Structure 1
Amino acid sequence: MTQTSTETKEAPAAPPRLLDNRQLRIAAGLVVVVGAAVALMYLFGGQPSGLLTQSLITGVLLGGVYALVSLGLTLIFGVLGIVNFAQGAMLTMSMYIVFFLATEWGLNLYLAAALTVPVMFGFGWLVQSTVLNRVMGDSTHERPLLVTLGLSLLIINVLLMVFGGRPVSVASPVEGSINVIGALVDVPRLIAFGGALAVAVALTLILRKTTLGLAIRAVAANDVGASLVGVNVKRIYAMTFGVGATCVAVAGGLMVSFTSLVPSAGEQFTTLAFVIVVLGGLGSIPGALVGGLFIGLVQTVGSLYLPGSGSLLLVFGIFLLVLFLRPQGLFGAKS
């Protein structure tokens, strides 16, 4: 066990971090900056206030979904030290499972989403324990990255063979919209946002309050030391990857009702999730949540002023600026 753990990672990844006083100050500063920017847009932005409010609310809801996808990615990196390029494909896979259960078995959409969670957890566990664990001894991390990239291509092409390339959708059992400070919000999007917050809180409590969370943080900080005190490192790796797959399962189940589903639907989420994780700070759970909300706001509000792909250019521009000023990310610890 000790020998295997020693080969796994030469430099331990940063453990999944929770907010400390310094990070709380950063979060407060970010709220002030965003609030000032919003006030300036209302005063001098040249857009109708109703349209701007609608974009802000939509951005927050979209950011919650982004954050949920990113939570699994940052947890996997924080513990295993690899970037899972199959995260978006696993998201698509979970949405197609929900689609199959809802259309072929006639299950309620949210019941189908709940059943998808253990399926994706088992899939993540299996991938880590049978494939990734064999290549994690690579000190350059090239082989794990290539394996996750290959896994992404495999999932996408299997979905393409089974379901075809025609866009499909699943109707939500809860329809309608509600008024939120002057903006109309679709109920399924509001449920997805609430689910994202619930998962973020649950994941934080697990890491902070449970024996499993303590073991995860111990393995992330020092896998050799953790194995010496009796932690089954391989099991923690498999469970962590399974939890990362669970996050995308919840995200897929919650967003499938308002997403046009094609086998390549998750590819854009892989790129955005990576941006969010690096922006928030690699290994930081709160960073992924705040980063997701921030990117969602920038993308939707930016589309008012930069139509088409201009909003994505704005996202990547801010991303590069933050990395130039704070390379470790907003909530990352200095190396």
Structure 2
Amino acid sequence: MSDTVTGSQTRTEGRLRVPALPLGVTLAVVVALVGVYVFGQREAGLVTQSIATGLLLGGVYALVSVGLTLIFGVLGIVNFAQGAMLTLALYLVYTMTSSWGLPVYVATLIAIPVMYLFGVLVQTTLLNKLTLAGSHEGPMLITLGLSLLIANVLLMIYGGRPLKVGGSVDGSIHLFGAIASYERVIAFVGALLVALLLTVILRKTSFGMSIRAVSANAQGASLVGVDVSRIYGMTFGIGSACVAVAGGLMAPFLSLTPSVGEQFTILAFVIVVLGGLGSVGGAMVGGLVIGLVQTVGALYLPGTGSLILVFAVFVCVLFFRPQGIFGAKP
């Protein structure tokens, strides 16, 4: 009887999973950080500052990746335009702050429904027919083309000169010897709240149940009355809204260029695969891990050298656990 229940739960989860944090991952991260303190030959205060910065940055990375893994978990496609949509959200916030004089976080609240509608429009007009037909290559190519289109339109409108969004909150907090600006703390807390809200929606609401049903079996879900086309559109919209939140939260401490989203696209793919394709919890944990690796690694490999460690961790996880930290075994 228990095997039947377990199998039913697995089928209901489908590609989209919200698992509990495994103890092994927590222990591995803690042991690694203790090792840096004890054997890393770096000043303890500097290590503490790097850890704090990495956690704050990783939270926003995770939010970008949650949108990506949500789209994959339900639609079964990899959205190559995720970074470009993040860039679009950043420029929307910039326009509203510079031209309309709105505070950055008010502009972010306006950008969220705008990006949601943009995502719904993209899915319903460009992707739905191919997605419903079961095509994976077509939507991937369309999102890649959309990414190039967004980047070039932004370049044409705003030019290639780096732009800056003015912050709304000044000051910083001191915790355990580390200093963090209020803007970065707000970004981390905002990302965490959005991730928790998505988790509650997926687990506790009828809409979340419909999303998980479509993720598990779109044809079966349609037979019991779920509007699969509508769920596809809303899911892509939610993924777009996630990058709007991430963009608005990062805008005060990020330099804007039309290609700024490319680095986040690469990192988001690493995080999603690292955590496990389709795993919401994996995207959150993967974002925090990558944030820590990038900032703590910069103590030893400054500049872009820290990305070497990021990809080294990525390769090691793929070698020892190809399905990712939270991925189900094949």
User: TM-score, normalised to structure 1's length?
Assistant: 0.93
**Whole-Å separation in 2 of the counterparts to 1:14 and 1:195:** 28
Once the two structures are superposed, what CA deviation does each residue of 1:113-168 show, in whole Å capped at 9, x if it has no partner? Answer: 00000000000000000001132256562111110000000000111111111111
1:95-106 aligned at under 5 Å gives the runs 95-106=90-101
Partner residue in 2 for 1:218: 213
Partner residue in 1 for 2:126: 131
Report the Cα offset of residue 65 of structure 1. Answer: 0.7
Partner residue in 2 for 1:6: none
1:261-272 aligned at under 5 Å gives the runs 261-272=256-267
Report the Cα offset of residue 13 of structure 1. Answer: 9.8
Matched to 2:282, the amino acid is G
Report the Cα offset of residue 96 of structure 1. Answer: 0.4
Partner residue in 1 for 2:227: 232
Q: What percentage of aligned pairs have identical amino acids?
A: 63
Once structures 1 and 2 are overlaid, which stretch shifts more, 90-99 or 129-138? 129-138
Once the two structures are superposed, what CA deviation does each residue of 1:189-216 show, in whole Å capped at 9, x if it has no partner? Answer: 0000001100110000000111110000
Report the Cα offset of residue 316 of structure 1. Answer: 0.7
**Whole-Å separation in 1 of the counterparts to 2:292 and 2:307:** 11
Report the Cα offset of residue 35 of structure 1. Answer: 1.1
Is the partner of 2:164 in helix, strand or coil? Answer: coil
Counterpart pick for 2:38 among 36, 40, 43: 43
Q: Note if contact 1:101-1:107 (Cα within 8 Å) is conserved in structure 2.
A: yes
**Whole-Å separation in 2 of the counterparts to 1:227 and 1:168:** 46
Once the two structures are superposed, what CA deviation does each residue of 1:21-57 show, in whole Å capped at 9, x if it has no partner? Answer: xx54x2x211111111111211111101111111010
Partner residue in 1 for 2:16: 16
Is the partner of 1:236 in helix, strand or coil? Answer: helix
- What RMSD in Å do the two structures reach over aligned CA positions? 1.3
Partner residue in 1 for 2:7: none
1:243 to 2:229 alignment: no
**Whole-Å separation in 2 of the counterparts to 1:314 and 1:138:** 40
Partner residue in 2 for 1:65: 60
**Whole-Å separation in 2 of the counterparts to 1:94 and 1:198:** 19
Report the Cα offset of residue 308 of structure 1. Answer: 2.8
Is the partner of 2:77 in helix, strand or coil? Answer: coil
User: TM-score, normalised to structure 2's length?
Assistant: 0.94
Aligned residues: 319
**Whole-Å separation in 2 of the counterparts to 1:15 and 1:317:** 26
Q: Note if contact 1:13-1:77 (Cα within 8 Å) is conserved in structure 2.
A: no
Counterpart pick for 2:81 among 86, 90, 104: 86
**Whole-Å separation in 1 of the counterparts to 2:268 and 2:72:** 12
Counterpart pick for 2:164 among 169, 172, 175: 169
**Whole-Å separation in 1 of the counterparts to 2:195 and 2:262:** 22
Q: Note if contact 2:97-2:166 (Cα within 8 Å) is conserved in structure 1.
A: no
**Whole-Å separation in 2 of the counterparts to 1:179 and 1:16:** 38
1:122 to 2:129 alignment: no
**Whole-Å separation in 1 of the counterparts to 2:54 and 2:282:** 17
Is the partner of 2:163 in helix, strand or coil? Answer: coil
List alignment gaps of at least 5 residues for structure 2. 1-11
Is the partner of 2:303 in helix, strand or coil? Answer: coil
1:33 to 2:33 alignment: no
Matched to 2:267, the amino acid is L
Matched to 2:18, the amino acid is L
Q: Note if contact 2:15-2:277 (Cα within 8 Å) is conserved in structure 1.
A: no
**Whole-Å separation in 1 of the counterparts to 2:170 and 2:156:** 32
Matched to 1:290, the amino acid is V
List alignment gaps of at least 5 residues for structure 1. 1-11
Q: Note if contact 1:14-1:282 (Cα within 8 Å) is conserved in structure 2.
A: no
Is the partner of 2:174 in helix, strand or coil? Answer: strand
Counterpart pick for 1:289 among 264, 271, 284: 284
